[in-house]
């Protein structure tokens, strides 16, 4: 008898590099539904940028554009996801009247997971902490045989959070962002920094990186796009242009993750007990 490995189907993903109208939730929702209709049956999973429903520069009007997941507009999008999964960025209002920069993962008309942005930038041109409450959890969720770890923009700039996701056996690191040109001034390029991060994380952890950035202008900001998928060897397998609205698609295979992790054993050889003890000593010395 010859043993043959079980072949798992790929995950067909679509990265939605879109522009959106600042504060026009209804128009953005319609645009999102149109894209879902166009790609239903073509991909398994559509990933939208950060705050795709509202735009980024909401400022002090953040509470005017927020949605409770029971609201009609949100439910209309949710009911539009038959036979497809999506990741959707929006301003989430909870029953406790807190407001979050959130990413909802919706599968076949049901919410499967919500990630609330943890690391809210309050430097450079950014002032998110003035308006949003920080999320308090970071968890993977499952999409078929794949484990996906969600990140919203600044979350991915915290290497410890990415390391935790890898330790939680994430196959896909999903980054939904609104990254503008010159977001950190002239000395540090956000575009080049993102490209370095995406390739480093993919290679170091043997994971796919799905990076979805928006395009367009808001106030004095210009979003640079260039959404991309990086394979577990650090190679670009799909990429978008810098200024155009487009949806790029590709397939993600577990076999490539398996191959990469048999070459580089970053997480297999991790000693989390050592990390925990060392972290406790650092906290005792500097933070308590």
Which pLDDT band, with edges at 50, 70 and 90, does 124 fall under?
confident
Instruction: Tell whether 5 is covered by a domain.
Output: no
Asked, for residue 81, whether it belongs to a domain, the answer is yes
Are 206 and 260 in contact by the 8 Å Cβ rule? The answer is yes
Dihedral sign, CA of 79, 149, 123, 224? negative
Residues 232-252 have pLDDT tens digits of 999 999 999 988 999 999 999
Domain annotation covers residue 206? yes
Domain that holds residue 132: 11-287
What residues have CB less than 8 Å from 282, skipping those under 6 apart? Answer: none
Contacts of 237 (CB under 8 A, 6+ apart): 229, 230, 231, 250
* pLDDT of 188 over the 90 cut: no
Give the per-residue pLDDT at 287.
83
CB 228 within 8 A of CB 47: no
User: What pLDDT is attached to residue 1?
Assistant: 60
Q: What is the pLDDT of residue 185?
A: 79
On whether residue 3 sits in a domain, the answer given is no
Whether 2 is in a domain gets the answer: no
Residue 4 lies in a domain: no
Q: What is the CATH number of the domain that holds 142?
A: 3.60.110.10
Q: Which residues contact 186 (CB under 8 A, 6 or more apart)?
A: none
Note whether residue 164 is domain-resident: yes
Query: 7 falls in which pLDDT band (50, 70, 90)?
Result: confident
d(CA 134, CA 286): 23
pTM, full prediction: 0.95
C-alpha distances in Å from residue 130, one per residue of 57, 61, 100, 120, 137: 12, 12, 11, 9, 20
Residue 272 domain-assigned (yes or no) = yes
Is the pLDDT at 136 greater than 80, yes or no?
Answer: yes
Q: What is the pLDDT of residues 207-231, one digit of tens each?
A: 999 999 999 999 899 999 999 999 9
What is the count of structural domains for the chain?
Answer: 1
């Amino acid at each position: 008898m010859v043993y043959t490995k079980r072949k798992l189907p790929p995950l067909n993903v679509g990265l939605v590099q879109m522009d959106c109208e600042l504060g026009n939730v209804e128009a953005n929702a319609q645009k999102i539904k149109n894209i879902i209709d166009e790609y239903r049956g073509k991909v398994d999973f559509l990933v939208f940028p950060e705050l795709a429903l509202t735009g980024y520069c909401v400022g002090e009007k953040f509470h005017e554009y927020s949605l409770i997941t029971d609201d009609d507009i949100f439910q209309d999008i949710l009911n539009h996801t038959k036979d497809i999964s999506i990741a959707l960025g929006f301003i989430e209002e909870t029953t406790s009247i807190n407001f979050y920069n959130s990413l909802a993962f919706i599968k076949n008309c049901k919410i499967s997971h919500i990630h609330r942005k943890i690391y809210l930038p309050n430097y450079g041109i950014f002032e998110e902490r003035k308006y949003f409450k920080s999320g308090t959890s970071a968890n993977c969720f499952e999409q078929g045989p794949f484990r996906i770890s969600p990140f919203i923009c600044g979350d991915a700039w915290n290497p410890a959070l990415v390391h935790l996701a890898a330790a939680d056996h994430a196959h896909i690191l999903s980054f939904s962002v609104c990254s503008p040109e010159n977001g950190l001034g002239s000395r540090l390029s956000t575009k080049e920094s993102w490209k370095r991060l995406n390739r480093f994380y993919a290679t170091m952890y043997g994971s796919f990186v799905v990076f979805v950035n928006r395009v367009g202008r808001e106030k004095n900001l210009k979003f640079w796009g260039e959404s991309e998928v990086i394979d577990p060897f650090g190679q670009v397998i799909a990429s978008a242009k810098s200024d155009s609205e487009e949806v790029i698609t590709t397939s993600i295979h577990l076999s490539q993750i398996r191959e990469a992790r048999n070459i580089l054993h970053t997480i297999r050889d991790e000693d989390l007990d050592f990390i925990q003890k060392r972290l406790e000593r650092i906290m005792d010395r500097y933070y308590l």
